[in-house]
Structure 1
Amino acid sequence: MTGGEALIEKLGDRLSGLRGRITPSAEMEKITWFRAGGLAQALFQPADEDDLAAFLKAVPEEVPVMVVGIGSNLLVREGGIPGFVVRLSAKGFGEAVAISPTGIRAGAATPDKRVAALAHDSGIGGFHFYHGIPGAIGGALRMNAGANGVETRERVVEVRALDRQGKLHVLSNADMGYSYRHSSAAADLIFTSATFEGYAEDKDAIKAAMDAVQHHRETVQPIREKTGGSTFKNPEGSSAWKEIDNAGCRGLMIGGAQMSPMHCNFMINTGNATGYDLEFLGETVRSRVLENSGIRLHWEIKRIGQFKAGREVQEFLGQML
C-alpha cells in the first residue's frame, strides 16, 4: 500500500459522498509546466465549490492540504508533498462570464488568457495583460499577477474563498491586501472565483493591445520551453533579468536546468531537470547576484514540497552576506 492509499484508507468514511476525484501518489511532474518534481501523497480534484467545502470539512486539520493551479508557476521538490494537494477542475471552476457591460466573473481555474479573450469579445478594456500570463485566475489573485504595466489588483472587485474548515469568505479588493506580486489574504484560503471590473473599450483597440502583448512574449520570452515563467521578482529600482545578466548567469546550467539565454529571468528544463536541479540553479543565481550587486532576489516561482534526503538546497547556498 502506498502512502497515498494508506492516507485515503485511514480517512475512510470521512471521504464518502465526495463527488470529486481522489488520486493516491499523484505524479506532480505531469501537471507542472517544469515537468519535474516528486509525488503528492494524494490529489483531490473537487467537482465544484460545495464539493470542495465538504472535503475541507471532512479532512482533519492535522492532514496538510495545499492548493495548486495549472502548474505554470510551480516548482515541486523531489521529496514530494505530504497530505492532500487540491487541484481545481476546469469543469467546476473554469467558467468565465460577462456579468455587466464592464464586469466579469471567473472561476479560479480559468486560464488568464481566456479571461482576456472574453473581455475582448465583450468590449471590456483593461484585461489585455492577461493574454500574456501563462497561469490561471486563482494564482493571479494570490500573487497579484501583472504584465505590461497592469496588475490584477486594478481589476479585482470581490473574491470568493474557502478556509481550511470549509467556511466561505467573500473578500473585497481591500481585504486582499495587495502589493507587488503579493496578497496578504490568509495563506490557508482557497480562492474559488472572483469578480472583476474593467471599462468600455473598442474591440479593435483591445485586440491591438493583446497582439502587442503576444508579440512581446514571442520575441523576448522562451514560451515554447518547459518553464515556470519569471523566476524572481523585480527588485526595487531594477529588473531581475538585468541583475542576473550582470552577475554572469545568462545561460547558466546545472544538470538539466538552465537560465534561458533568451530571457535570463526564465528558468527552463532542457529535458531531464529534477526539482533539485531547478532549485539549486535558482539559489546559485541568487547567490551570485547577491555577491555581485548586494541585491537579494526573491523567488516569484512558488516552491512546494519536501527535499529528498541528501538533496536539500539552502537559500543563497548558505551564504551569509
Structure 2
Amino acid sequence: MSFPEVGQIKVAGKLTANAPLAPLVWFKSGGCAEWLFEPKDTADLCQFLEQLPPPVPVMALGLGSNLIVRDGGVAGVVVRLGKAFAQVRKVEDLTLECGGGASGILVSSTARDHGIAGLEFLRSIPGTVGGFVRMNGGAYGREVKDILIDCDVVIRSGEIATLPLSELGYTYRHSDLVDGCFVVAARFRGVAGEPAAIQAEMDRISASREASQPLRSKTGGSTFKNPDGGKAWELVDKAGCRGLTIGGAQVSEKHTNFLINTGEATSAEIEALGEEVRRRVKEQSGVELEWEIKRVGKP
C-alpha cells in the first residue's frame, strides 16, 4: 500500500519521497522509506501529523542503532528528528532538558560540564533521547527510569502532552508509549558530582565498551533482551553460535549478543541469522530469547 497524498502536505522542514534508509541505520542495510520527514521543529511535526490521513503509518527514526529495516522498505512516513531536536540545556539544579534527537554522548557530556553525576551510563547507549526514553534504555546497572522526570510526547493526532515517569509503565527495555508517538523532549535529573570524576567514569565505560563490543563494525547493538536471571550472550555462546554466519551476516566473535554486517549483508540475512540463533538457543537451553532490536518494514 502506498500513500502518494502525503506529498501534498505543506511542511517547514524536509519531506523526501523514496528516501534510502540504509545510510541512516547502523547495519547499513534495508530498503527505502516511502516518505522521510525531517521536521523543522515541534510545531512543524504537530501540524504535519494533524494533516496526515489516519491510515498512513508513521514511525520514528533516531540514530538507527537498534533497528533492522527490512529490504522491502517502510510504507508510510518515517520521521527523523534532526539537529533542531538535539539541544541539551540545564534548566535547574541537577536537571537537564534534552531534545528527542540528542545523543546519549551529548547528554552525558553536558551533564559532566554542569557537575551532574548519574547520567554517565548514557555515554554507552548508541541512540537518541527519543529512542532510549521509549525503550527504557540502560547499561552498567542504570536505566532511563532512574533519571527521568518527565517527557514531552507528540501523539499520532498531532497533539502534544507531557507525561511523568509514573505514566510510562517502564519495565526492562519497555514502556507503555504507543507506536506512532514521538518523544520530542525529556527532563533528566542526576546528583551533584565533580566533573573530573564524572569524566573518569565516562572514560571507564568507553574503555569497557571498546574492549568487549564490536563498535567498529556495522552492527545494531544488543540483539536480544537478557532473560530473567541470565545473560543473552552466554546462552548464544553455549548454543555454539559464536561466529555463525548466514550470507554476509555474522554473530560477532567479540560479543555474541551482537550481529554484524560483514560487508554486503541484506536485512533478510541479518534477521534470518537472528532467528537461527533464537532457534538454537531454544533447542540447547529451553530459553526463548526475545528480540531487543526492532525490525520494521516489508521483507
TM-score by length of 1: 0.91
109, 124, 141: which one aligns with 2:101: 109
Q: Contact 2:59 / 2:179 at 8 angstroms: preserved in 1?
A: no
Q: 1:250 to 1:12 in 2, by over 3 A?
A: closer
Shift of 1:187: 2.4
| Equivalent AA in structure 1 for residue 94 of structure 2 | T
Segment of structure 1 superposing worse, 202-211 or 159-168: 202-211
Q: Is 1:206 the counterpart of 2:226 in the alignment?
A: no
Shift of 1:11: 4.2
User: CA–CA distance in 2 between the matches of 1:97 and 1:256?
Assistant: 42
Q: Is 1:35 the counterpart of 2:57 in the alignment?
A: no
82, 91, 112: which one aligns with 1:99: 91
Shift of 1:133: 1.2
Q: Is 1:72 the counterpart of 2:65 in the alignment?
A: yes
Q: In structure 2, what is the equivalent of residue 278 of structure 1?
A: 270
Q: Unaligned 5+ residue runs, structure 1? A: 308-321
Residues 165-314 of structure 1: matches in 2 within 5 Å?
165-307=157-299
| Equivalent AA in structure 2 for residue 115 of structure 1 | V
Q: Contact 1:112 / 1:134 at 8 angstroms: preserved in 2?
A: yes
Q: Is 1:62 the counterpart of 2:35 in the alignment?
A: no
Q: 1:12 to 1:239 in 2, by over 3 A?
A: closer
User: CA–CA distance in 2 between the matches of 1:98 and 1:12?
Assistant: 38
Q: Contact 1:160 / 1:170 at 8 angstroms: preserved in 2?
A: yes
Q: In structure 2, what is the equivalent of residue 51 of structure 1?
A: 44
User: CA–CA distance in 1 between the matches of 2:7 and 2:281?
Assistant: 50
User: CA–CA distance in 2 between the matches of 1:194 and 1:274?
Assistant: 35
Q: Contact 1:67 / 1:86 at 8 angstroms: preserved in 2?
A: yes
Shift of 1:100: 1.6
Shift of 1:64: 1.1
SS state at 1:230 partner:
coil
TM-score by length of 2: 0.98
User: CA–CA distance in 2 between the matches of 1:11 and 1:240?
Assistant: 41
Shift of 1:231: 0.4
Shift of 1:101: 2.2
SS state at 1:63 partner:
coil
Deviation per CA, 1:108-150, whole angstroms, max 9, x where unpaired?
1000111010011110010110111111111110111101000
| Equivalent AA in structure 2 for residue 183 of structure 1 | S
| Equivalent AA in structure 2 for residue 79 of structure 1 | G
Paired residues, number: 299
Shift of 1:39: 1.1
SS state at 1:182 partner:
coil
Query: Greater relative contact order (Cα 8 A, min sep 6): structure 1 or 2?
Result: 2
RMSD of aligned residue pairs (Cα, Å): 1.2
Q: Contact 1:175 / 1:185 at 8 angstroms: preserved in 2?
A: no
Once superposed, which parts of structure 1, at least 4 consecutive aligned residues long, lie more than 4 Å away? none
User: CA–CA distance in 2 between the matches of 1:96 and 1:169?
Assistant: 20
User: CA–CA distance in 1 between the matches of 2:18 and 2:169?
Assistant: 35
Q: Unaligned 5+ residue runs, structure 2? A: none
User: CA–CA distance in 2 between the matches of 1:195 and 1:40?
Assistant: 31
